[in-house]
Amino acid sequence: MRVLGVDPGLTRCGLGVVDGAGRSLRMVAVGVVRTSAQRSTGDRLAYLQDELDTWLDRFDPEVIALERVYAADHVPTVMTTAQASGLVLLAGARRGIPVALHTPTEVKAAVTGSGRAEKAQVTTMVTRLLGLDTPPSPADAADALALAVCHQWRGPGQALREQGAASERARLKSVQAR
């Protein structure tokens, strides 16, 4: 299964693609989309959407694993993160790609064994789990890969549901093409 992990953000949005099943995983690509705070929010969102579309076209994921937005003390950060998340949800819906939401605690627990792990621990474990020569940088890139790994490990029941959804998407596309 190919999973695109997305660590949403308007200044930095981490993207990571992981292939595999179970414990056998391989990184396909990783990167960070950056936007300048000097640009308008609309321009930044448009650029982020264009980059996300490029990744979706290039890597054709079966599912998108997105970090669930959670409330924090800094409201402007939560708002821009939610805006970036909305773009990902919309892109998935328009393409018929399931989007799975994972909490930061869930992701940390999946890759490190502790939901309270520090970012450095997540980066170290992602590097080990994917057999990378160098740690992904910045943390947004490592977090995107961690999201993809977390989703890969959610269990066979989830994989079966996603396969069913993929089959249904293919059926709908063939009906629409007629």
Residues annotated as catalytic are 7, 67, 140
User: Which residues span the domain enclosing 105?
Assistant: 2-177
Distance CA 87, CA 51 (A): 11
Is the Cβ–Cβ distance between 127 and 137 less than 8 Å? no
The rounded percent of the chain whose pLDDT value lies above 90 is 78
Asked if residue 168 belongs to a known ligand binding site, the reply is: no
Instruction: Give the pLDDT confidence of 19-65 residue by residue, as tens digits.
Output: 998 789 999 999 999 999 999 999 999 999 999 999 999 999 999 99
As given in the structure block, the two tokens for residue 34 are 């950056």
Amino acid 161: pLDDT: 54
Question: Model-level pTM?
Answer: 0.86
Tens of pLDDT, residue by residue, the chain (178 residues): 999 999 999 999 999 999 998 789 999 999 999 999 999 999 999 999 999 999 999 999 999 999 998 766 678 889 999 999 999 999 999 999 999 999 999 999 999 999 999 999 999 999 999 999 999 999 999 999 999 999 999 744 454 455 556 666 676 677 777 7
CATH label of the domain that carries residue 162: 3.30.420.10
Enter the tokens of residue 15: 């993207």
Quick one: which H or E segment has residue 130?
Answer: none
Q: Are strands 99-102 and 12-21 parallel, antiparallel or unpaired?
A: unpaired
Q: Is 140 annotated as a binding residue?
A: yes
Does the annotation place 19 within a ligand binding site?
no
